[in-house]
A and B are shown apart, each in its own frame.
Chain A
Amino acid sequence: MRARDPEKRKHDFKEVALGLTEKQAIKEANRCIQCKKPMCITGCPVEINIPAFISAIRDEDITGGLAIIRKYNMLPAICGRVCPQENQCQGKCVLGKKKTPISIGALERFVADYEMKKGLSQKTKMSRSNGHRVAVIGAGPAGLTVAADLARHGYKITIFEALHEAGGVLTYGIPEFRLPQKIIDREVEYVKSLGVEIKLNWVIGRTQTVDELFGEGYKAVFVGVGAGSPRYMNIPGENLNNVYFASEYLTRVNLLKANQFPKYDTPVKRGKQVAVVGAGNVAMDAARTAARLGAEKVYIVYRRTRTEMPARLEEVEHAHEEGIELLFLSSPKEIIGDERGHVKAIRCDAMKLCEPDASGRKRPECSGDEFILEVDQVLMAIGQASNPILTKSVKGLKLWGAGYIEVDEEGRTNLPGIFAGGDIATGAATVISAMGAGKRAARAIDDYVMGRKKAKSKEPELAESKK
């Protein structure tokens, strides 16, 4: 996909990837061989009918293409931008075996942006109100999906969101240069246009409890509170000044616009030499944000190698183009501070990879050597754990692992009327998997409230399943 010049873009927060022109999109669509057994679909967590929407682009029926996608995916402009396509749809495309796979994500984004550019609005078939109320906790991709699907099906939905803005990680985590806020706002507005009410600053478990929601007449509750709590390494120096958890750093910049301090009141420290620990999307986002805040040098410090990096391929490439240095086989063991309690260096073990273990992943092991990197800021991005406020407040809710909610395929928890999905059920995952979980849960909630024993339809689109 076209992208802005790295030398220019690394100084601002404007979107990096430019998207396809209409001509390019049609050309790319024509490359698709319209497989009888389209493997691409098996790679998409919500099973979008990919050849069908590509065929519509080929026929220059762009809005028709969008209508097809929307049956499966409520947030195409977002997924087209942030899905790890190389592991999903595109990773499965047959053309990828010999040459380049179809750029499915780029096409999806093109179709969604086309509508926005032309000022067209999304039309939605709505069922008549059935009078039932359902509460959704958390306004991230999982919660927004459940809300939209149930609203279209005639439910009266209220979303309760702890922060002062809807969108979840899309809003407070993923930076503007990758996912512009106006795209999220548009999707949130769309959900509201379906009659969904969003109550902000509403921390369920504190402002109100789940029991109270049932008491107020909500028939079911969906929990989509995400995996927001940052993990830490427990190494010396982690609480020094200028060591940020990536979640704080990104929240300051994305949610509170600290990059515009003092126009906005929230400050953020601008490091000159920055080490980012981790190699997922969060690490890439933190590193590229640091570069945009004026860092002279940004290092990604990762204990494995490039092939094990969990970040999206495109982000790793973009980071590399922007001059971010990737230090592999490096495992931090101490952050060193000065007399004022500020970071001045990070000490790392040099690692080597051993033979693959049972899981098939090569394990890193200390080589015995260590090195010191002089930096004035460290951003920790080694993963998220479950968010405890809600889960702790619901008595008897069954959890697994590091406090995630245990659910079945359709998002049912062990408690009647309480459903869950997204990162809080799976651990940190992806936008599209959170949405997929939301779709399945919406169907299960509908069955539950209506007193149906079995799912009435296997169709992906709840609202389309009848009338």
Chain B
Amino acid sequence: MFKVLNKETVAPQVDALIVDAPYIAGHAKAGNFIVLRIHEKGERIPLTIADSDLDKGTITLLFQKIGKTTEELGTLKKGDKIRDIAGPLGHDTPVKKYGHAVLVGGGIGSATLFPILKALKEKRNKVTVILGARNKELLVWEERFAEYADKTILTTDDGSSGKKGLVTEALKEVADSTKVDVVLAVGPIRMMQAVAELTRPFNLKTYVSLNPVMVEGTGMCGACRVSIAGKTKFACIDGPEFDAHDVDFEEIAHRLNFYKDEEAESLEKFKKKKCKGKCKKQ
């Protein structure tokens, strides 16, 4: 059992939980994730370790409420317990002295980037962070990033904060005006794909963090398989970060849609139960 020590609402539909997990906190590296199961009947889902505190023995999970399990996770309060958390899992992000690194985060994807930013700064890189969202409300943790990054650029689709436009446009401007040594992008599949296409012609080293469906997260089931340069890889042990220019984005997009019907059914059932049939029709 893992105790929730604190809960925070970060943005509409985005919550953060601080959880007591000293062994995981003690071994977490940038790019790692955990797999959790809230209770006996729950699904195992992966979430990035968005932050960890070695002294306090805690990890922070930042998640977007998009389905049954994340909605339910959002109902947990300080003092509640999560039945299972296994981790840290996944490869560590290859952190070294690159020179100038650009981190590109779309929506909740930024959570993954925070520990990477800290690790890159420890290695004395110059780091530019580009965070994008549909509007001002949906930007997460921009102040935290600004604290560590050399430069933080915000973009929104509607211009309610930062520049109006897409993260790729901001990335292009940065790449056009300064030398960039590495790009790391995390966010929706199509956003990561757009970043990959943007940097491909320049042969600019680009990593993306893939988010396929996972089951156990330790390389034993193959649920998370992705095609990288034509070869099958398991994202939970070979990734989740891969060279963006080798990723088969169409395949992963298809695979992410596989359980659409079941996900909708599960969420609807959960919402009905939560309000015991007294909810207003939406």
Contact = CB atoms under 8 A, between A and B. Distances in A.
B partners with A: yes
Interface string A232-254: 10100011111001011001100
Given A207-B24, A239-B232, A241-B255, A201 B85 contact: yes
A247 B222 contact: yes
Contact of A164 (B69, B83, B232): B83
A232 B222 contact: yes
Given A206-B89, A207-B87, A261-B262, A266 B220 contact: no
A247 B69 contact: no
B87 A239 contact: no
Nearest to B234: A229
B266 A265 contact: yes
B251 A239 contact: yes
A207 B222 contact: no
A251 B220 contact: yes
A388 B219 contact: yes
Nearest to B37: A164
Interface residues of B, number: 42
Nearest to B34: A201
Contacts of A248: 215, 221-223
Contacts of B37: 164
B98 interface: no
Interface string B67-84: 011000000000000011
B223 A265 contact: no
Q: Is the interface of B mostly helix, strand, loop or mixed?
A: mixed
B222 A267 contact: no
Nearest to B69: A265
A217 B104 CA distance: 44
A23 interface: no
Interface residues of A, number: 40
Contact of B221 (A208, A240, A251, A262): A251
A229 B220 contact: yes
Nearest to B2: A201
B41 A265 contact: yes
Contacts of B220: 228-230, 247, 251, 387
Contacts of A200: 84
B174 interface: no
A134 to B, nearest CB: 19
A230 B222 contact: yes
Contact of A239 (B44, B89, B218, B255): B255
Contacts of B124: none
B227 A239 contact: yes
A424 to B, nearest CB: 12
A203 B87 CA distance: 7
A269 interface: yes
B255 A245 contact: no
A267 B266 contact: yes
A256 B115 CA distance: 31
B269 interface: yes
B57 interface: no
A200 B263 CA distance: 27
A302 to B, nearest CB: 20
Closest 7 CB pairs of A and B: A341-B254, A267-B262, A228-B220, A248-B221, A265-B43, A245-B222, A164-B84
Interface of A: 162-164, 200-203, 206-208, 228-230, 232, 234, 238-242, 245, 247-248, 251-252, 256-257, 261-267, 269, 340-341, 387-389
22 contacts: A162-B86, A164-B37, A203-B89, A203-B218, A206-B89, A207-B23, A207-B24, A240-B254, A241-B257, A241-B258, A247-B222, A248-B215, A248-B221, A248-B222, A248-B223, A251-B221, A256-B44, A262-B269, A265-B69, A269-B259, A341-B251, A341-B255
Given A203-B89, A247-B221, A387-B218, 12 more contacts: A201-B84, A206-B87, A206-B89, A207-B27, A229-B219, A229-B220, A238-B232, A239-B251, A239-B255, A247-B220, A248-B215, A265-B266
